């Protein structure tokens, strides 16, 4: 009897739910993603207030075994384009996560540099709305963070990248670019890991991490044939030229890697020399044995 009552109760509950009477139930896994601003360093680094890119600065904090942390300083923008690396080992994963925005409306900030310095000690502003979408152009997929107004301040996010110690950045806007290497790591050795293009300068931060800085990754197209042809056109027929950028690529490695490589190469070279020496010695012995055998054969033939 008790079993029949339980079955009847389950049937009635299911019927009521399907009829829409319990339409205010929300699955737990549909809750909004929470953000953690403490994962980021909102450093108001401004290379040069008078440079072409203004206060725009893009900083990447690299790690050998975790996702990249990216922090953008921007002035009066309403969207941010990110060209991520495709991780074929983990398809379908979220490329960008933990997006944190600390900013003010772009038209009411007075001195942008002062605004950014002030915001660097502020809390994330939950009232700032944004949308994350995906766009494709010329075969290239971009993640686009769009705001409901022009902003000045910080945008930070975590970006999944393929495993390994290779990093590539495809710029989409004018910006000073910084790459902060993990503590105890470096880059630039031509045998282990080149940096292309070469950074404008390097320094070490307060935590002893090596930092590489590029003031301008814009490509110089002033001497190209297309620029020459454009200069021959009447001014009213000229089209606005699309800004092109250099792709940044680097491979970072432990500071001990060059020394370990030298030691390993020396040991390998010594082993090769031993093998070659042993081969030459055995070949001489074999040649001597053949010579003696031939002399004995000639003596026996004369008899």
Question: Quick check: is 152 in a domain?
Answer: yes
Residues 56 and 186 in one domain: yes
Question: Quick check: is 62 in a domain?
Answer: yes
Q: Which helix (H) or strand (E) holds 251?
A: strand 248-251
Question: Quick check: is 296 in a domain?
Answer: no
Number of structural domains, the chain?
Answer: 2
**What is residue 127's predicted lDDT score, i.e. its pLDDT?**
65
3-state secondary structure of 285: helix
**What is residue 265's predicted lDDT score, i.e. its pLDDT?**
60
Task: Give the tens place of pLDDT for each residue, 117-142.
Answer: 888 887 666 567 889 998 887 777 88
Integer Cα distance of 22 and 217 in angstroms: 57
Residues 130 and 245 in one domain: yes
Of 54, 185, 162, which is closest to residue 113 (Cα–Cα)?
A: 54
Question: Quick check: is 85 in a domain?
Answer: yes
**What is residue 228's predicted lDDT score, i.e. its pLDDT?**
47
Give 300 or 91, the one with higher predicted confidence: 300
**What is residue 36's predicted lDDT score, i.e. its pLDDT?**
81
Residues 128 and 246 in one domain: yes
pLDDT higher than 90, residue 204: yes
Integer Cα distance of 72 and 45 in angstroms: 10
Tokens 């440079």 belong to residue: 51
Domain residues for 80?
Answer: 26-219+241-253
Integer Cα distance of 16 and 34 in angstroms: 33
Residues 130 and 246 in one domain: yes
3-state secondary structure of 227: helix
Question: Quick check: is 279 in a domain?
Answer: yes
pLDDT higher than 90, residue 89: no
**What is residue 20's predicted lDDT score, i.e. its pLDDT?**
39
Question: Quick check: is 2 in a domain?
Answer: no
For the chain, give the mean pLDDT. Answer: 74
> Of the spans 160-164, 224-228, 242-246, which averages the highest pLDDT?
242-246
Residues 110 and 172 in one domain: yes
pLDDT-derived band at 253 (thresholds 50, 70, 90) equals confident
Integer Cα distance of 303 and 1 in angstroms: 120
Residues 68 and 203 in one domain: yes
pLDDT higher than 50, residue 160: yes
Residues 73 and 136 in one domain: yes
Residue range 275-302: mean pLDDT, rounded: 75
Residue range 73-84: mean pLDDT, rounded: 88
Residues 182 and 92 in one domain: yes
Residues 85 and 119 in one domain: yes
**What is residue 178's predicted lDDT score, i.e. its pLDDT?**
94
The set of residues, in sequence order, having a beta carbon less than 8 Å from that of 292 and lying 6+ positions away, is: none
Residues 274 and 147 in one domain: no
Structure tokens at 145: 């963070």
pLDDT higher than 80, residue 106: no
pLDDT higher than 90, residue 70: yes
pLDDT higher than 60, residue 18: no
Give 28 or 186, the one with higher predicted confidence: 186
Residue range 264-289: mean pLDDT, rounded: 74
Residues 245 and 283 in one domain: no
Cross-strand bridge partners of residue 80: 145
Q: Which helix (H) or strand (E) holds 180?
A: strand 176-180
Integer Cα distance of 107 and 269 in angstroms: 65
Residues 275 and 151 in one domain: no
3-state secondary structure of 93: coil
Task: Give the tens place of pLDDT for each residue, 208-243.
Answer: 999 999 988 887 755 544 444 445 545 444 445 567
């Amino acid at each position: 009897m008790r079993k029949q009552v339980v079955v009847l109760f389950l049937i009635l509950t299911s019927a009521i739910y399907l009829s829409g009477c319990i339409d205010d139930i929300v699955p737990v896994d549909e809750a909004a993603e929470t953000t953690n601003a403490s994962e980021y360093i909102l450093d108001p680094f401004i290379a040069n207030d008078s440079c072409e890119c203004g206060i725009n600065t893009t900083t990447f904090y690299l790690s050998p075994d975790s996702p990249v942390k990216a922090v953008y300083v921007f002035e009066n923008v309403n969207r941010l384009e990110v060209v991520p690396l495709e991780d074929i080992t983990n398809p379908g994963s979220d490329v960008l996560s933990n997006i944190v925005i600390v900013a003010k409306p772009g038209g009411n900030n007075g001195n942008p540099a002062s605004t950014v310095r002030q915001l660097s000690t502020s809390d994330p502003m939950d009232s700032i709305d944004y949308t994350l979408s995906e766009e494709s152009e010329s075969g290239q997929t971009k993640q686009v963070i769009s705001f409901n107004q022009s902003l000045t301040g910080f945008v930070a996010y975590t970006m999944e990248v393929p495993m390994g110690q290779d990093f590539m950045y495809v710029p989409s806007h004018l910006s000073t670019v910084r790459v902060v290497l993990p503590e105890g790591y470096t880059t630039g050795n031509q045998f282990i890991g080149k940096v292309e293009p070469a950074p404008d300068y390097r320094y070490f931060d307060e935590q002893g991490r090596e930092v590489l800085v590029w003031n301008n990754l814009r490509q110089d197209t002033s001497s190209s044939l297309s620029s020459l042809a454009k200069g021959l056109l009447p001014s009213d027929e000229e089209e606005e030229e699309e800004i092109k950028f250099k792709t940044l690529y680097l491979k970072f490695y432990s500071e001990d890697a060059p020394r370990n490589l030298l030691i390993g190469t020396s040991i390998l070279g010594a082993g090769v020399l031993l093998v070659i020496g042993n081969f030459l010695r055995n070949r001489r012995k074999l040649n001597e044995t053949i010579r003696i055998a031939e002399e004995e054969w000639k003596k026996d033939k004369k008899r």
